[in-house]
Structure 1
């Protein structure tokens, strides 16, 4: 037996290979896992890790202020106490929402539904309640130790400083619908946010009014309790909108229409600046009070608005089109002059009636006007003169000139609320809609603003502006200036320039002839004397349009005018549903609006207006 120890046998190559393969596999698994965690899910895990120690609370910007032309605040923002909760804490603590509901005094199912509707992702705090009382907020704060992830603090909300006189102009705000979120994604709205719904609030400036979100990052513990603030980013307030509209003029228009509404007659007033298309006043009655929408309108009040037979949610200045009656004769007159189917020297004998075959078409003055020339025909609103002029022009020419004046197309006013284009009919239009063939009676009715013609008060006012300024059709607009803000508080103002829709292809001589005839309307012997102003030349046109209702035929009252006639500063259109004769009912309203704007003191009312128009 040898006393020398023998060396151990060398490890087998197979064993070494197995160990190496095992090491490689283990390393590969480790690398793959690291890649999976850091590359594939790195961002998600980082956010989850950060969420365990931080909480980012969104800071909603205050909605932009809306000012009238003189700087009066019409709409602004006020602070309200809002309750939000972190969704990850709701997932960890299923009883959390029930506890919050108890402390708020809100049914659990209602709060749960609100949470589900307003939730956006797993990290963004969800709004549970807004405008909570100080008592509710205090109760929540007292139990914060058992309410992980809950934040209670001030957020801005919309508030209005004016009432229903401004309802259809300002509109209102409300909770974003799914459609709102989809259509206004660029504005940064999230579920549960408040956005504009109607009027200026819901129009093309909604994104400007909304502003940009800010945020605050807090350090929290495992229970979601706040230990300190790590950083913040200020929100950018919404832009300030300065309007062309004057609150005092708006109030006068409202006060003038209100007595008719008390008698059951809805209506509208539009006032504009002829040289720019800027809207100076726009009232539609009945209306609604935008203040009732602050914090959400109660269902009972909303149902009352929807069920009101006078339909207060409809803006009659822009969204309701009806026949304008004799106000349209200014279009027929211009068409006749341009097509050389009449002249300022043209004379017609009005016996009070013409015959279409065996069917009589009567003038509003049954006894007739006798012999009238162009100016007298417009001043006295002689139907027979315009029946015959319409026959010479034909329906296609009447339609063409109506469209040139802006009828049959939306004006593009910068508000939401369903502006209608109205109807400019012609024989093809009538056939396509199954109303039969165009007949002679359609043409003569068309010439005096009846038949199937349908227009809005805003369209009429805009057309009158184009006559007043010598032939420029502007796009009506309410916003005169946009004042934008940045995070540093710096403000930058941008003026909204007037937009020309069309230069009317009419000779200045023909426009001047219609202007002179419109002046004659308001002078002695005309149908619009109730709109006359002391010391100021006024041009206008009355209209009384017959409309069929379930109760029978009614007369809608119209009047459109501008002043001073030699240097126009204001144009006005007044429409009163079933009000009677335009010269008697609508003209005095326009007179009051123009007088206020022009600083004319009306010490005494004029005589009774004409019932012949």
Structure 2
């Protein structure tokens, strides 16, 4: 009986265990089915996407940069088709044979062949090796003709930057080239759109406007195998070209500036005296930015770098020069504004001025005799301005000079290389040199020498603000989306107000205390150019349509010794680096002024001989282009 009950209990235990195991199996099976249902039905899209990501690859192509155009819409920085040569190593049957053929067809150097072999060892077999980024048309045709014998070679047509006017706009536009690691890290937009082969702005407006010009990437989608090799192209998504930027510059005038400064070191700036538009901004000598697009050769780079005329320096913005006598209109204006002198004030010039045992010479050895403000300006008498500066003082002169733009950047943040220059005062010397100001320094500041340093563009702005009647302008080189017309700009100035596009308010921009003083300076500058004995009289234009007024300047680059003064050498007898800089500032037409300019010819000798004649040739073109510019402006206002 006991044995029977024991057998029953064992059977119950076995049955319970089998039930538990069976139930567990059922639960596991249900769990697996539920998971499979979840994976295949509920999360189908998620895993389909992950699968596609393993199967599909995206390749970004270099973005197409936006065009930069001049005021009239002429493309000055654009894009063109270029022909490249790629090799796909895995398709090549005999790599050494292929290189021998390419070397012969394209005249490749041994160094280039070595670089190709190096790239081959670094890349995957199916990746492309770029043999040449810029094949000529004849080379491209030759390669295509021999493709049957060049297995693995792929001729490619793509887009690259192009500067159609070569060296005319170099110091305005800059150039593009491949970015370095730091440039990629510093710009979020470049980081997001960077692909090998992409080029970015390295200098000038190309660099400053990078985020506007860069464009978006075109995208190609390919199906790939397990090793990442492309099997089939699935889609091509076209990228958007970067924004078009329109400048205020006139190409014809810019080109003329380059021709007039040919084989000279210097700068020419032209500005609208009411709107502040930069009409031309040329630095000489220049260089061709197209050389940098595909990697400049060492020989070409050394020629540019070692050129004694320094083509790499943007002299218009970065060149710092003593303004010489071109500063005299500001000195006279400051003295009039501060009631230190009037039009009847006269000084006797004997050719020099003695002060505490030091001699300050006038450029005219025997002197000018008794001169008033008008005659002193006309003949650029140094002695007169020594005395005016002595009576005025450098601190009051500094205030007037800074009002008219000296010692400040003109184009703000548009150019990284723009310098603000220096117009000194007593506080500046104490803070920077640790010494007190002396009276003799005031005298030489009064004729634009000494510590004073200015850029050619500052002198152009100074002259423009004298020309427009003494009102502040805001120079610009990019056309506004809603440009202010010439008539509106002039009217707002004459009311003493100027619309500031940054703050979007009208602000008082009168730079004078008494408008009569501006008129006195304008008449004195007229005499300097258009009356006998004026320093630029030989460069005058009698025709009222083209008649302009200006002021010459000759800036010493070294102190003239007593012996050198006695020798009185001709320009050709003086070593080039010891010759004075030649300067000229002007505006015109005189009756209804519209444009101002500044010219500097490094080591040109004198402003009257080297710089003023350039202004005479240039003003005719500037005035003749005036009507075309007005028509363009009026047309845009009507269409808008």
2:353 is equivalent to residue 345 of structure 1: no
Counterpart of 1:592 in structure 2 is 617
Counterpart of 2:234 in structure 1 is 230
Shift of 1:417: 5.3
Map 1:91-170 to 2 at 5 A: 131=133, 133=135, 134=140, 153-170=156-173
Shift of 1:67: 2.2
Counterpart of 1:449 in structure 2 is 448
Answer whether contact 1:405 1:504 (CA < 8 A) is retained. Answer: no
Shift of 1:158: 0.3
Counterpart of 1:484 in structure 2 is none
Shift of 1:419: 0.8
- From 548, 552, 555, the counterpart of 2:558: 548
2:67 is equivalent to residue 65 of structure 1: yes
2:180 is equivalent to residue 184 of structure 1: no
Shift of 1:588: 0.4
Distance 1:210 1:347, change over 3 A: same
Distance 1:480 1:288, change over 3 A: same
- From 486, 494, 503, the counterpart of 2:509: 503
CA separation in 2, counterparts of 1:596 and 1:167? 22
Distance 1:445 1:11, change over 3 A: farther
Answer whether contact 2:257 2:282 (CA < 8 A) is retained. Answer: yes
Q: CA RMSD in A?
A: 4.3
2:212 is equivalent to residue 202 of structure 1: no
Shift of 1:31: 11
Question: CA-to-partner distance for each residue in 1:489-521, whole Å, 9 max, x for gaps?
Answer: xxxxx3556985982430322111111111111
- From 533, 557, 560, the counterpart of 1:525: 533
Equivalent residue pairs, number? 560
CA separation in 2, counterparts of 1:163 and 1:592? 23
Question: CA-to-partner distance for each residue in 1:108-167, whole Å, 9 max, x for gaps?
Answer: 767867999xx9xx9xx99956626447798699756xx9xxx97543210121122322
CA separation in 2, counterparts of 1:505 and 1:202? 34
CA separation in 2, counterparts of 1:100 and 1:342? 87
**What runs of 5+ residues in structure 2 fail to find an aligned partner?**
40-44, 104-111, 490-498, 502-507, 560-574, 626-640
**What runs of 5+ residues in structure 1 fail to find an aligned partner?**
37-41, 482-493, 601-613
CA separation in 1, counterparts of 2:96 and 2:34? 45
CA separation in 2, counterparts of 1:268 and 1:227? 57
Larger Rg computed on CA atoms: 2
Write 1 or 2 for the structure with the bigger share of helix: 2
Question: CA-to-partner distance for each residue in 1:177-228, whole Å, 9 max, x for gaps?
Answer: 223223332354415420111222222x222222222312233445666565
Answer whether contact 1:285 1:312 (CA < 8 A) is retained. Answer: yes
Question: CA-to-partner distance for each residue in 1:376-404, whole Å, 9 max, x for gaps?
Answer: 22111111111111112212112222211
Distance 1:479 1:228, change over 3 A: same
Q: Is 48-57 or 372-381 further displaced after alignment? A: 48-57
Answer whether contact 1:201 1:415 (CA < 8 A) is retained. Answer: no
Q: TM-score, with normalisation over the residues of structure 1?
A: 0.79
Distance 1:214 1:391, change over 3 A: same
Counterpart of 1:79 in structure 2 is 81
Write 1 or 2 for the structure with the bigger share of strand: 1
CA separation in 2, counterparts of 1:534 and 1:293? 46
Give secondary structure in 2 for the equivalent of 1:349: strand
Answer whether contact 2:62 2:194 (CA < 8 A) is retained. Answer: no
- From 496, 499, 521, the counterpart of 1:514: 521
Shift of 1:421: 0.9
Counterpart of 2:296 in structure 1 is 297
Shift of 1:355: 1.5
Q: Is 424-433 or 518-527 further displaced after alignment? A: 424-433
